[in-house]
Structure 1
């Protein structure tokens, strides 16, 4: 199964993000219930290979993590693959992310070497977008690129399963862990 570790977002943040998504008229908008901040992508793993990681995560208690989301950006250059809102790389968030990566490696799971870019994905785009969709996306960004949401606190993280479908990924929590 495909798995990842994500910081859970409080309802007030997901509701505000869902409202902001209403103007996106290109690609596939991420459903409100699937909005999250990925801490680490594990890729394909066996469920039993997660046992040691789950034990470590059950003991993790860094306290609530402050999330400050502001500014829209895209990944993928001229042919964007996704639209996201940046999340401030606060020391507590960076510490939690590094700590979870250490736990994952200690559990014997391999992680790709990627720079952590804290963000919440709002929409995904096909490999090639029409000129009309590019224009719609440009208008949306011109109107909303300076989006800034009030800071919130996350008090849990989840080990998630990701199932790919033709309609987009489906996320199911395997287990959720309190941070305090």
Structure 2
């Protein structure tokens, strides 16, 4: 039986100035007293498509196909905080995408098309451009995040 790996396709955040600003926001969120697990700076990314648990051989196939994807360089501007599933029941805290959102959606469409050719089913949730910065562990002081 082939080893399965939890996989996703993403764009890493590598700009140190941006990472420093995000870490500052994360610190402020922790100061609310909410029970949060912040995403480590080296793990911050914009997910284009979650793949789930897939065999290593399939992952290698996806990697190979990704190398053939082409798109023009574009600028992204991250702005504003939001929450999944909603503000009444916050499980995930994220930063939104303002400038470059349409470009990012185009890249996600190309990824989705490539995955369809490889036999992956369509993403049932669709693409929602965001950068996850924290996850709520328990309901402790969760309500304090609403006013953040």
Identify the TM-score tier after normalising by the shorter chain: 0.7 to 0.9
2:76 to 52, 67, 73: 67
Alignment of 1:28-177 (within 5 A): 28-77=37-86, 78-88=88-98, 90-126=101-137, 128-130=138-140, 132-135=141-144, 137-139=145-147, 141=148
Q: What's the C-alpha RMSD, in Å, of the aligned pairs? A: 1.8
- SS of 2:133's partner is strand
Q: Give the drift of 1:35.
A: 0.7
Match of 2:7 in 1: 3
Q: TM-score, normalised by structure 1?
A: 0.69
Range with greater deviation from structure 2 (40-49 or 11-20)? 11-20
Q: Once the two structures are superposed, what CA deviation does each residue of 1:37-79 show, in whole Å capped at 9, x if it has no partner?
A: 0000001100101333222211222132321111111112322
**Counterparts of 1:36 and 1:62 in 2: how far apart (Å)?**
18
Tell me if the contact between 2:136 and 2:142 (Cα under 8 Å) persists in the aligned partners: no
Number of equivalenced pairs: 137
SS at 1:120 equivalent: strand
| Ranges in structure 1 where 5+ consecutive residues have no aligned partner | 142-180
CA contact (8 A) 1:8 1:37 kept: yes
With the length of structure 2 as denominator, give the TM-score of the two structures: 0.82
CA spacing shift, 1:84–1:30, aligned 2, 3 Å: same
Q: Is the Cα–Cα contact under 8 Å of residues 72 and 85 in structure 1 kept in the other structure?
A: yes
Q: Which blocks of at least 5 consecutive residues in structure 2 are unaligned?
A: none
